[in-house]
Structure formats: C-alpha cells, structure tokens
Structure 1
Amino acid sequence: MKPQSLAEKRLPAGRLTALLAGALMVAAPVVAATPAGAEARTSTIDWQQCKDTQEKVECATIKVPLDWSRPNGQSIEIGLSRRKAGKPAARIGSLLFNAGGPGISGVEEVNGKRKVLTQDVYDRFDVIGIDPRGLNTSTQIKCDSDLVKKAAAARSVAYLSQANFSALRRANTKLSNNCRKLTGPLYDHVNSRDVALDNEAIRVALGEDKITQIGFSYGTLAIQAYAELFPKRVRALVGDGNMDHSVTSPWNFLDLQVGALETNFNAFADWCDKTSGCAFYGKDTRKIYGELSEKAKSGDLVDPSTGDKVDFVKLTSISQNINLPAFWKDIAATLKHLYDGTKPQETPPPPPATQPATPKVQNYVSQAVFCQDWDFDIKNQAEVKSLSARLAEKYPNMEWNPNTTESLLTCVGYQGKTTNPQAPATAKGTPPLVLVGNLHDFATVYPWSQAAAKQMGATLVTYEGYGHTYYPGNFTQSKCMNDAIDGYLIDLKVPAKGLSCPSLEVPGEKDLPG
C-alpha cells in the first residue's frame, strides 16, 4: 500500500471550509449566531421520529460529497440521530457523538435506552449521533458475507505458516476487490479525515457557529483530524480512549497493547491466588494458564461442554475478560473447567435449531477504514513470527495474543491506498481540549492517550481503573471523572493538570454504585 503524500491529501483548512460552504450552500445556509438557550440557528435538516425505537429521538440524513476534493461531484448520505436537550431553556448547542469501532453506529448508540452521556449533558445539548460514511444509515460499504467470514478465519491462523499467510493475502485481496465492486467509488473514501470533513458539513447543516464533539476509541481519529482542520470551529472536544496516529511500526503498535493485557493478567492472577472466592485460590494461576496455553497450541485442549478443540486463538479470546475485574470470578471458573476437563454445573442451553440466515451481502467497514488510515506493510509470515516471538519473550503469560494482530493483518493484500497515513496529531489554534485515558485500557492503551494529549496540547484526565474507554462509566460511575468531563463540556472549565481519579472497581462485583 503506497500512501498518498500529505501534500496530496491535506488541503488547507480555509480551502476545505470553502468547499464545504459551496457543497452545502443550498442545503443549510449559515446565518447569524444565537445566544445559549435559544433554538439552533436555521437548518434545513428534515428531522423525523426514528423508526424501530420508542425513545424520543429524531433521525435524518444529509448529503455530502463522496470525494471532498470534488465537491460538485457525486454525493452520499450521512445518517444522523438527534436527542433534543432535556432542558431547552438551558440548551448550549449541539454535541456530535462518534461511537468509534470502526463500525459502531453512533445513531444506534444515541437512539438506545442505555445512557451514553450523563444526564447533565443530555439536559444541556442536542446530542447528535453520527453514522460515519459507509456505515448503517449512511451510504453503506457492502461486502460479500462469505468473503468477510473467510478473511476473518484466515487472519486467525496466518501466523502458523507461510502457506497460511499467503492464503490470508489472497482472502484479503478477494474481499477488498469484492467490497469495491459492490460499493462503488465510496469504498476508497472512508478514512478518518473524510469523516472529519463530514463532521464539519454536519456543523454547517445544523446551523452551529461552533461545535462540541466527543469521540470514543477509533472515533478519536476523526475528532483529532477535525481539530487540525477546523480549529476555529471547535467549542469543546473530548477524546476518550485515544488512538495514537503517530505509531508507524507494527512492533510499537502491538507492544503496548500486549503489555496492557499482561499487566491486567498479572493483576488478575495476584488477586486469584489470594482470594478465597476465586477458582484458583491458593494455586499458581500463572502456571495453570501457561499449561492451558501449551495444550491449546498442541491441539490437546478441549471444551468439556461441547467436545470442541480450543486452539490458542480461542483461548485468548475466552481470556479477554481478565481485562474487566467485574468478571474475574467468572473467567477463573471458566478456565478451571477447561483445566479440569469438567462441565460447568449450569451448562448453557444449545442454540435454537433455526438460526437467522446471514445475508449474502453485509455492511462491513473495518478493512477499508483501517487500511486507509494505517500503513504497516507486513510482508510475510516470517515477520509475524518474529513479532510474536519478541512479544512472547517480553510478555510470557499473555504472549503475543493473536487477537491483537487482527487489525494489522486486515491490510495484508488489501487492494487500495493508505489515503490518511500516520502522522502526529496537531491542534493549533483550538480552544483547550480534553482527552480521557484509562490506566488499564487494553485496546486504546493509556500511553496512546498520553501521546495524543502531548501532540495536541490537550489536558489528559486519567481514570486509574479498567475497561475500554471510561465516560460516563462502565461498572462504576466516578464522580471525580464525570464532574471533570461534564464541567468542561458544559461550562468549558478545563480540568486540573494531572487530574487522576482512583479506580472504583471491586473484583467480581458488577453494577457497583458510583
């Protein structure tokens, strides 16, 4: 994959704004600003009650250029949902919500009953859920479901041999060619900078002079790009569980992720060895897990509930709950049944005889988005083997964990360009920005949030606990965290430098009070 140069891809923000204004001139003219508490400025978005939900949420689409370098060319639709401010008289403006993924629908997250923000934020903002281009209610990327499944299977065993790696290359090539054929030209225009440009179009269409945004996990790339491209249009911006787009080597990408898993495993093992409620109490949890890993690699580990073989990939997938202390008792019990070869007392019922049929064509964005944002260029199985050996030596319990390599292997054989290549985030000319990082985040690891904050000159708020992303809370709700983030979003009060909030998790306990 040969990335385009920054000069080819990154147009000046002033020119981008002009393109946006021209593209949206008819749909949503910009008018004078209004004070807080007033209705949003004139907008021609045709909001209607969303289907398939009982919540009071409206849905709509806007049109944007398929290719932002050709604003008068073909257009696509971007799907939106709106949950109006609970206290209209105190309304501040609109807040754009990017759920991340890639492939998680912001529209569905905002439409659902589960609160994705605090009530104070719901009261003060119209919350706008976004389906990034290619996804769900936006114009979709479409792919053959069987090819998606085959590529995923090929990734899980690519590390075993050069023949498997070559099979992965063929599967990824076939998948990307098929998706492009079924989707059309949109397939090559779904990187995170494209999403940032769409977000500016949404701001214009909403009639907001400045915009508040929150992005989670992979969605932080788009808001980082927005801060670079449109610094004067930012009112407030929060990134939770941040990507570090300056990482250019496969080793650096994997090292910190597997290191986070190892740290979390060691905390789990220490707790389990010393806690009477854990299935491995008084035993050597590390030694037992090591034996399970060796049996999985040799093909001798069997699931006693089903009789199916449990390979190393499946074992590491089962073990992901070590990242969440609320599930430590559960994962220990599961591992003990595997180790002892005994069935759980409550064996889950078999699946229904008739499963819903998988559609022949599905909405699948992960490969296109990731490969247009990242260029790691893994050449062969020898490179994967070398990486895995280094990781296994450095992190002897979790080793290299095949699950962490999946995103990198997605692009082996991908037929397309990296149109948004890696580069440090910049945010010159913005108001103060706030990023959030979990100390034990296993996916968007804490050092990535530290790096992004340094690059952007942002204030980093740290949660000393677990889980992937924090706000507004996983199994706990930290008043320390939520007060800091809400104070920034609502009152533009920047949290104290170095603010770090203590972990509230209790191993084995779910649904704890805040």
Structure 2
Amino acid sequence: MTQRTRTIRNAALVGVSTALLGITAPVTASAAPERGSSESLAWGACEGAGLDPRQQCATLRVPMDHADPDSPRIDIAVSRIPSEKPAARRGVLLLIAGGPGGSSLNDPSGKGQKLPQDVRDTYDLVGFAPRGLAPSTSVDCGLDHGDLATSRLRPWPAPDGSVDENMATARRMAEACARNGGELIRHLSTANEARDIDRLRAALGERRISAWGTSYGTYVGAVYAQKFPHRTDRFVLDSVDDPDPARVNRAWLAAHEQGVEDTFPHFAAWASEPGNPDRLARTAAEVRPMFLRLAARLDREPLPWPGANPAELNGNVLRQTMLDSLYSPGRYPTLARLMRAAQEGTVPPAPQAPPEAVLQNVTAVGAGTLCNDVAWPTSRAVYEKGVAESRAKYPLTAGMPRNAMLCAAWPYPPREAPVRITDEGPSNVLLVSNERDVATPLAGALRMREALGRRAVLVTVDSTGHNPYLANGNACGDRTASRFLATGQRPGADVRCD
C-alpha cells in the first residue's frame, strides 16, 4: 500500500472515527489457547510501505464472546517498536486510538515517534487494530453508497428540523448491519475491547501496562482501568470523553453543540485576521452570522458538487465541513475556502474519499460499538424534542448533536450494562484536555475527573483543537504528560497550562 493511499484513508474519516492505518497483513500467531491461558505472539515483519523498519507485527487470537468458553476466535492485529534503551525499559505503552473505528496499528511508527526520547527508552510502543477493524477480523454492513456520506452518518436534521428522514435512514442502515454484519457485529463494544487489551497484556508477558489513549481511546482506557485496575501502570488520557454511564456515546454526540460554541470564536478570529489569505470578514463578529446565512441559503439552493458524496453542497454539508474543520486550526482554511466558493456560487474540487471498502469497515465498527454500548431511544418524539431544543440554543449545529443515529433502530439490545467509572483503583491517571475542543469539550473531561476522583489529575490546556498532547496543545501540557510517562511524576493537584 502506498503512502498516498494511507494518507487518503487517514484523512477522510473525521466524521466517522479517527485515523486509520496502512498495515495490511501481520504475521499470524499460534492457535487459540485454552480458556484462561496466555496467548503467545509470533512477531515478524510488517507489510506496507513507509513504516519504521523496527516495527514488528503479530496477530493475537481472542474469543469473539469472552463469556463463552467455546466461542470462535477472532484475530487482533498488533504491532510494536521495542524500547530504544533496554536497560531503561519499564514495560509497554499501549497506544489506544480514537473512534470508535480508529486504529493505532501504525502509531508506533507514526505519532509514537513524536514522544520524547526518554519515553521511547522507557517503553515498547504497542499498537493494535481493534476487533472488527481490518486487518483484524473485520465487519462490514454493506451500506448504500449514499449512506456513507459523512453528512449522512452524522444525523443532520432536515432544514426545517424534521427528523423523519433521519429515522428512515437509521432503519435502513441498522437493517443492513443486521443483515450483513454477521455475529461479530453483535460483539463489538468498549467492554470487549478492554477485555481484548487484557488478553494482549498477558500475551506480551506484562503484569501491568501503561497507555496513551486519545479521544474515544480515553473511554477505552478508563473502562480498562475500571475493569482491570491493578493491571494499570501509567495512563495518559488525552482529549477526554464524558463517561456518563446513562448515555455514553449519546453524550459524546451531544457534546458537539458545546464544542462548536467553544471553538467557533477561535475560527472567527482567525478568519478575520488582516493578512490572512483566507480572510472572510473584517471583524470576528461578522463571521458567525455570515456562516449561518450561507448555510441557510444552501439549505434552500444547494450547489451541484460533481464527484462529492452527496453530489451537492447543501447546508448540512457545509455544517459538517465546519465541524470537521474545527478539529484543528490547521484545517481552518478548508472551511474558509468552501465558504468563499459557495458565496460566489462555485465549489472547490470534491474531497477525495478513501476506498469504499475502508469506509464500509470503519462505519460498521463505529456503528456496532456505539449501538452495543448503550441502548438508544427508539421514539421519534425523543429526537424531535431534542433537535428542537438544540436548534434553538445552538444554531451552528442545527440540532444534529441530539438527533437519531442508526442506533435509534439498532435491532440488538446491549449484552451488558455500560461500565460505570469510579474512584476505586490506583491513583495513576493523567487527564489532558484543551479548553477549546470541538469533539471532546472540557466539560466532558471535568465529568471524567469527577468520576475518577482521587485516581486522576486533570491538566487543562489553554489551547484549541482536538488531541492536545503532542498535537494541538502547548509546551506546558506536553512536558507534564511526558514527564509522567517517563518518570511517574504527576502534579499533586489539577493544573492549568497557559
């Protein structure tokens, strides 16, 4: 697989999950062990171009159903780069990707190399593709091409606020997943990912593991630390999800309304800066009404957009582009240029989509996890009420964060209750969150901090964007997290990094 193909795969999935990987076929491990025994890993070369030559790959076999001793085994693709200074090695640092539907399989070669030298000396860097996500044993819902549009996967209401089409779309997509997803899609969940991680820990021969989880990976890390507290060493949870056990994933979707409100003023200030080649207005105050007017106009009069999915630029496509672009200040030009083109009645070249098979796989993993973790309301009235309230209070997101995803029609009840995160366990968690984060607003991090109690310390970073540590944060936040991973030294209380 070429570097260009991997880049396409990684770049286009913000609305579905986080980054994908480019490794195709890891070495197969030994046959499934007896229940309760340790799986061994047969490490070998990874396939794919552009990887660090030190990265090794293997396959771990785990039960599809951890509660069934006779359950079929499925494959979990695993990678690692060993500690760069064996004499200083403490253990393994598991890289847990966002999503659901993201993978850390190429992260030892990728973002893992951004870690300071003393952290890379301290740990083997370990990545994995979660259950259901290729090249692990994969799932696919066989969705219609149109339903793979990001503005369709995000449940944007109709221009008048109606959720009728969203409910119909939810039924169609859920039926496709039930028809084509096989038995595995029923066993995708955060709790099962945590169980898979503990199988991986044992296979690596480690008594405890450290972890760096980002976005959805923070919830995975928190669930693992709740289910296996004495198997944890040093945990950094970066861009922290709200662990509300009553809503779980619904709370994450709802968080976008506040996340956009927190972040859009930063975009508006950037879009009004003198000398900015993508400047939209003379003052920041002009940008918000400009966006709202343009979205309303595109609701009424969409522009044809050949090659895009959907093949038109309508108000919801503009809103989805806004949401995607606020993930990082580096993406602001994408939104500004689309707004300028639309104001002139034109469109830029259609964004290049990843291969459809990749979209199908990522979407199925996301759907299975989101819908199996917690029961979603099935009543149209619940979503109608939520959308109306959200549209009135948060016009930028037009009701989407409280709308009906395909989980509203999911045919399978959850197999277990969501994990409740508590303060029972060792005090070894560092939370890192930006003040302005469109996807995981600071409010969610504060709820995770409250749930973990004495187990955690929160680092609030005065920065904008998703994933503060070594990405969209600042030097103070980066130093604090790196020092904790390398030495175990953690602030004695919550801190703010200006």
Aligned to 2:18: none
Aligned to 1:324: 328
Distance 2:302 2:168 in 1: 25
SS in 1 for 2:426: coil
Distance 1:316 1:90 in 2: 49
Distance 1:314 1:441 in 2: 21
Matches for 1:49-128 after TM superposition, within 5 Å: 49-53=45-49, 54-55=51-52, 56-112=54-110, 115=113, 117-128=115-126
Contact 1:110 1:116 in 2 (8 A): no
Distance 1:101 1:486 in 2: 23
Distance 2:306 2:149 in 1: 28
Q: Rate the CA distance shift 1:21–1:460 in 2: closer, same or farther, 3 A.
A: farther
Superposition deviation, residue 244 in structure 1: 1.7
Matches for 1:252-291 after TM superposition, within 5 Å: 255-273=254-272, 275-277=274-276, 278-282=279-283, 284-291=286-293
Aligned to 1:334: 338
Aligned to 1:138: 136
Matched, 1:235 2:219: no
Distance 2:376 2:114 in 1: 33
Question: Per-residue CA shift, 1:342-396, capped at 9, x if unaligned?
Answer: 67xxx659989xx97758974631110111113231421x443332322222224
Matches for 1:39-54 after TM superposition, within 5 Å: 44-53=40-49, 54=51
Q: Rate the CA distance shift 1:435–1:154 in 2: closer, same or farther, 3 A.
A: closer
Q: Rate the CA distance shift 1:113–1:24 in 2: closer, same or farther, 3 A.
A: same
Aligned to 2:476: 480
Q: Rate the CA distance shift 1:62–1:300 in 2: closer, same or farther, 3 A.
A: closer
Superposition deviation, residue 330 in structure 1: 5.2
Matched, 1:298 2:296: no
Contact 1:98 1:216 in 2 (8 A): yes
Matches for 1:82-481 after TM superposition, within 5 Å: 82-112=80-110, 115=113, 117-146=115-144, 149=147, 159-160=157-158, 161=162, 163-180=164-181, 183=182, 185-246=183-244, 248=246, 255-273=254-272, 275-277=274-276, 278-282=279-283, 284-299=286-301, 309-320=312-323, 321-328=325-332, 331-341=335-345, 348=349, 362=361, 364-380=364-380, 382-396=381-395, 398-400=396-398, 402=400, 404=401, 408-422=404-418, 424-457=420-453, 458-474=456-472, 478-481=474-477
Q: Rate the CA distance shift 1:52–1:143 in 2: closer, same or farther, 3 A.
A: same
Superposition deviation, residue 423 in structure 1: 5.1
SS in 2 for 1:139: coil
Moved more, 142-151 or 88-97: 142-151
Distance 2:391 2:356 in 1: 39
Q: Rate the CA distance shift 1:51–1:293 in 2: closer, same or farther, 3 A.
A: same
Counterpart AA for 1:500: R
Q: Rate the CA distance shift 1:281–1:332 in 2: closer, same or farther, 3 A.
A: farther
Q: Rate the CA distance shift 1:216–1:156 in 2: closer, same or farther, 3 A.
A: closer
Question: Per-residue CA shift, 1:404-463, capped at 9, x if unaligned?
Answer: 457x51202112122354454124122421111111111122111111121112111111
Superposition deviation, residue 116 in structure 1: 5.5
Match of 2:35 among 10, 19, 23: 23
How many equivalent pairs are there?
453
Superposition deviation, residue 68 in structure 1: 1.2
Counterpart AA for 2:391: A
Gaps of at least 5 residues in structure 2 are 1-31
Distance 1:304 1:291 in 2: 23
Contact 2:386 2:399 in 1 (8 A): no
Matched, 1:489 2:485: yes
Moved more, 438-447 or 425-434: 425-434
Contact 2:280 2:340 in 1 (8 A): yes
Aligned to 2:4: none
Superposition deviation, residue 485 in structure 1: 0.9
Counterpart AA for 2:313: V
Aligned to 1:31: none
SS in 2 for 1:434: strand
Distance 1:299 1:440 in 2: 32
Contact 1:236 1:488 in 2 (8 A): yes
Larger radius of gyration: 1
Distance 2:273 2:390 in 1: 28
SS in 2 for 1:108: coil
Counterpart AA for 2:176: L
Superposition deviation, residue 206 in structure 1: 1.0
Q: Rate the CA distance shift 1:429–1:154 in 2: closer, same or farther, 3 A.
A: closer
Aligned to 1:9: none
SS in 1 for 2:100: coil
SS in 1 for 2:369: helix
Q: Rate the CA distance shift 1:165–1:456 in 2: closer, same or farther, 3 A.
A: same
Distance 1:207 1:137 in 2: 23
Moved more, 125-134 or 273-282: 273-282
TM-score by length of 2: 0.81
Aligned to 2:23: none
Percent same amino acid among aligned pairs? 26
Distance 2:311 2:356 in 1: 23
Counterpart AA for 1:293: A
